[in-house]
């Protein structure tokens, strides 16, 4: 497990938290919707393990990777639009039906909020799916701002959504931590200049999370909140006692 560098988190004022694979295990929803789409195309169902490896870079990438299992690139592009339309219909119909909260997500969000940490959710999931899912799971109210994969011209791993959160909250990059399950979150944070923590569960495109360039791995969102709280207290004490 990659050790966390505590000194980086003493002045954190805001957290940008990913959705799929970080707060919610949504792979079962993807699994159902994708295989219903594949059935309409007369394609064999895929296992959930394969689908987890395709998650994280937005819906368009997800569907292209699913089609690439059966088709070469030109054929996949020919099937892309009907496949996307079918998937979106099926996903909207079951959004959240098969998803579940990861351990200590609510406790972590409660701790962050009680400590005065401002919260934003930045996901590559389209807002039309992200907002009702957050409402259904009663997470929506924790976040001052919520951005999806279609909120900007570019999505994670591009830093654009994170830079907007800095502007929304009027905070410096070093006062923000991004928390996510994949290299997308870490790359976006590095490019934006903020701190980044990864969780060891979720969907990192089938790659070990230990190989990601981050500031450490935390077991749960609650552990991240406790780390930030402890380091903030230490930072305050250090500041108060410095001549």
Q: DSSP letters of 77-104?
A: HHHHHHHHHHHHHHHHHHTTTS-EEPTT
φ, ψ of residue 211 to 5 degrees: the values are -85, -5
Model confidence pLDDT, tens digit, residues 128-176: 999 999 999 999 999 999 999 999 999 999 999 999 999 999 999 999 9
Model confidence pLDDT, tens digit, residues 79-107: 999 999 999 999 999 999 999 999 999 99
* 56 confidence band (pLDDT: 50, 70, 90): confident
Cβ-contact 71, 79 below 8 angstroms: yes
* 6 confidence band (pLDDT: 50, 70, 90): low
The residues annotated with a catalytic role in the active site are: 18
* 239 confidence band (pLDDT: 50, 70, 90): low
Comparing 53-67, 80-94, 211-225, which segment has the lowest mean pLDDT? Answer: 53-67
Spell out where 129-236 has E strands.
145-147, 176-180, 195-198
Res 27: pLDDT? 94
Spell out where the chain has E strands.
14-17, 24-25, 100-101, 118-122, 145-147, 176-180, 195-198
Classify the C-alpha dihedral 160-163-169-174 as positive or negative. Answer: positive
Query: Is it true that domain 6-25+101-241 has CATH number 3.40.640.10?
Result: no
Rounded CA separation 171/130 (Å): 25
Model confidence pLDDT, tens digit, residues 12-31: 999 999 999 999 999 999 99
Rounded CA separation 169/21 (Å): 25
Give me the CATH code for the 27-94 domain, please: 1.10.150
Given this chain, do its domains 6-25+101-241 and 27-94 carry the same CATH topology?
no
**CA 10 to chain centroid:** 23
| pTM (predicted TM-score) | 0.90
Res 133: pLDDT? 97
Domain ranges of the chain: 6-25+101-241, 27-94
- The neighbour count for residue 1, using CB atoms within 10 Å, is 10
Cβ-contact 221, 108 below 8 angstroms: yes
Res 231: pLDDT? 84
pLDDT over 60 (residue 243): no
* 205 confidence band (pLDDT: 50, 70, 90): confident
Cβ-contact 199, 218 below 8 angstroms: yes
Strand 118-122 to strand 14-17: parallel, antiparallel, or no bridges (unpaired)? parallel
Give ∠ CA 102-103-105 in degrees, rounded to 5. 75
């Amino acid at each position: 497990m990659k050790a966390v560098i505590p000194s980086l988190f003493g002045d954190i004022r805001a957290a940008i938290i990913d959705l799929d694979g970080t707060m919610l295990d949504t792979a079962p929803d993807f699994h159902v919707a994708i295989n219903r789409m594949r059935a309409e195309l007369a394609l064999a169902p895929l296992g959930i393990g394969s689908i987890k490896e395709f998650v994280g870079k937005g819906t368009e990438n997800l569907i292209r990777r699913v089609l690439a299992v059966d088709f070469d690139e030109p054929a996949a592009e020919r099937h892309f639009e009907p496949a996307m339309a079918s998937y979106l219909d099926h996903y909207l119909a079951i959004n959240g039906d098969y998803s579940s909260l990861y351990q200590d997500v609510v406790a972590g969000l409660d701790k962050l909020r009680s400590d005065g940490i401002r919260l934003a959710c930045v996901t590559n999931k389209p807002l039309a799916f992200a907002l009702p899912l957050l409402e259904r799971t009663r997470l929506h109210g924790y976040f001052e701002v919520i951005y999806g994969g279609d909120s900007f011209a570019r999505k994670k791993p591009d830093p654009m959504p994170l830079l907007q959160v800095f502007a929304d909250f009027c905070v410096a990059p070093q006062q923000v931590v991004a928390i996510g399950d994949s290299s997308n979150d870490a790359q976006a944070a590095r490019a934006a200049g903020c701190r980044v923590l990864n969780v060891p569960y979720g969907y990192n495109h089938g790659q070990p999370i230990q190989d990601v360039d981050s500031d450490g791995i935390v077991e749960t969102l609650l552990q991240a909140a406790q780390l930030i709280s402890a380091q903030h207290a230490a930072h305050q004490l250090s500041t108060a006692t410095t001549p």
